[in-house]
Amino acid sequence: MKTEKFPLAISAQAITRPGIPRANSTQAWVWTVALVAAIAMPWLFYNYTTHRHSGFVVSMLSQMGMMSVLALSYNMLLGQAGLFSLCHATFFGIGGYATIHFLNLAGDGSFPLPLELIPILSGLAGLGLAIVFGYMATKQRATAFAMITLGIGELMTTAALMFHHFFGGEGGVNSNRMIGHSLFGFKYGPAIQVYYLIVAWTVISALAMLFLTRTPLGRMANASRDNFERVQFMGYDPRIVRFLQFALSGFFAGIGGGLYAITYEIVTFDALAAPLSANALLMAYIGGTAAFGGPILGAVLITLLQSGVSLMSNSWLVYVGVLFISMVIFAPNGIMGLVQAHGPIVRAGRFGRLLVPYVRVIVPGLVMMAGFVGMVELASFLTIGAAQGKTLVLFGSKIDVHAVLPWLAALICLAGGTLWFGVEARSFRRVWDGLMGDLKSQRSAA
């Protein structure tokens, strides 16, 4: 019973500490707006003359929903427990495969479960596999953990290509989501019905994961990330904490995979291969691992980039990669972290003093970005684009990628912009530090 006393003391301390996500009115407000936007969004793109939803928008929004679940569940590891996993898509994929088989069973009547509840089974499939692999992986942490998960990911991808009965080999497995069993009498033929199912499950999973961050388990996961020895000192086994966290994140990843399977009605090895694991990492990290909502933001942003920019550019992954690396170096708490850093200044009513410095940073930043994008696009049109028979068109005029002028312009933009940006960034830093210093001295005076 001795150990019982400490967790209570710790969690009480943690709740009163600033910086820990707490439900306050601002946050609740942001969440509500996000939910309303998610519900209303398909209707903004509704075509009232043909009475049809935009298929592109609905499928992109659906993708955002399932990717949010994946990124949030990934953040249970990276952000909350400090575990860098490289096999998260494994649980997403296994949830997807299991869902296809459940749909097939439900469809032929041997297992009549309503479609709305099938994601629970997908989650359980993810949980089951995460228990097995989590037992192995969570014996280690840091780099060894990352290596074991890399091995697990490669193992499962190879296995998915090899065993045809469960995984269907290269062609994958497919099914039909119109199984005729529903709690509310929906058919789930149109994509919009499936989209609302995804919204519902995304909200349920997000709330469940938010709840988990406030349980003793969530707190101990944070503690074992921050101070491993201290956790052991208090009589906890950090390994058990890691294991539970890993297993539960596998459960939620499985739900995401279930939604994926219901949407696309086909699951191939892509759903559990390394690129998707990497995507989960990118989404969680770029959005921000320190704030609970960060991964959702990341999932929305990356999906937008994926479906928007990838249509225009062959090299969207370069942009994502550069964004990711600059985040790692300059903003380790992601976009959410950047936004939150402004909190004290906005509350003190001093944000106006940052406006001019912001404009002075953003202008050279845009020049630098234009130069960089120009260089990347010119290079990629020279090789990949040429192989695809495409030409670079900007503002309605064709651009000859073999001419010197576009290259020179891009290079000047990039080099000049970078130098200019460096100067402005330094002066911005001075203003920022000055403001922060003022606030700090005010607070200590008060």
Partner 1 sequence: MEIVLVSLLNGLVYGMLLFMLASGLTLIFSMMGVLNFAHASVYMIGAYLAFTFSQFLGFFPALIIAPILCGLLGAAIEVWGLRRAHGNGHIAELLFTFGLVFIIQRVVQMIWGMLPMPYRVPPLLDFPLFTFYGAHFPAYRGFMLLISAGMLVATWLLLKKTRVGLIIQAALTQPQMVSALGHNVPRVFTIVFAGGCALAGLAGVIGGNYQTTEPGMADAMGPIVFVVVVFGGLGSLMGCFIASILMGMIQTFAVVINSSLLDLIKPLGVTLTGDNLFTEFMTVPVARIGALLPFALMILILLFRPRGLMGTRDT
Among 251, 324, 372, 428, binds partner 1 (CB under 8 A): 324
**250 is a site residue for partner 1 (CB under 8 A):** no
Among 139, 230, 402, 429, binds partner 1 (CB under 8 A): 139
Residue 100, phi then psi, degrees to nearest 5: -60, -45
Residue among 253, 270, 271 at smallest CA distance from 119: 253
Q: What does each C-alpha distance from 43 to 53, 130, 244, 307 come to in angstroms?
A: 7, 38, 40, 19
- Would you say 160 and 269 are in contact if contact means Cβ atoms under 8 Å apart? yes
- Would you say 277 and 145 are in contact if contact means Cβ atoms under 8 Å apart? no
**315 is a site residue for partner 1 (CB under 8 A):** yes
Interaction residues for partner 1, span 152-171 (CB under 8 A): 152, 154-155, 158-159, 162-166
User: Strands 266-267 and 173-174: what pairing?
Assistant: antiparallel
- Would you say 368 and 418 are in contact if contact means Cβ atoms under 8 Å apart? yes
Among 213, 380, 401, 428, binds partner 1 (CB under 8 A): 380
Q: Which stretch binds partner 1 (CB under 8 A): 173-181, 231-239, 296-304, 373-381?
A: 373-381
Min dist CB 66 to partner 1, Å, is 22
- The conformation of residue 168, written as its DSSP 8-state character, comes to -
> What is the number of other CB atoms lying within 10 angstroms of the CB of residue 131?
15
**278 is a site residue for partner 1 (CB under 8 A):** yes
**379 is a site residue for partner 1 (CB under 8 A):** yes
Interaction residues for partner 1, span 26-65 (CB under 8 A): none
Residues with Cβ within 8 Å of residue 386, at least 6 apart in sequence? 401
Interaction residues for partner 1, span 79-138 (CB under 8 A): 82, 84, 136
Among 308, 321, 434, 437, binds partner 1 (CB under 8 A): 321
Nearer to partner 1, 389 or 396 (CB): 389
Q: What does each C-alpha distance from 426 to 103, 323, 415 come to in angstroms?
A: 58, 20, 17
What residues make contact with partner 1 under the rule CB under 8 A? 78, 82, 84, 136, 139-140, 142-144, 146-148, 150-152, 154-155, 158-159, 162-166, 274, 278, 281, 285, 315, 317-318, 320-322, 324-325, 328-329, 332, 376, 379-380, 382-384, 386-387
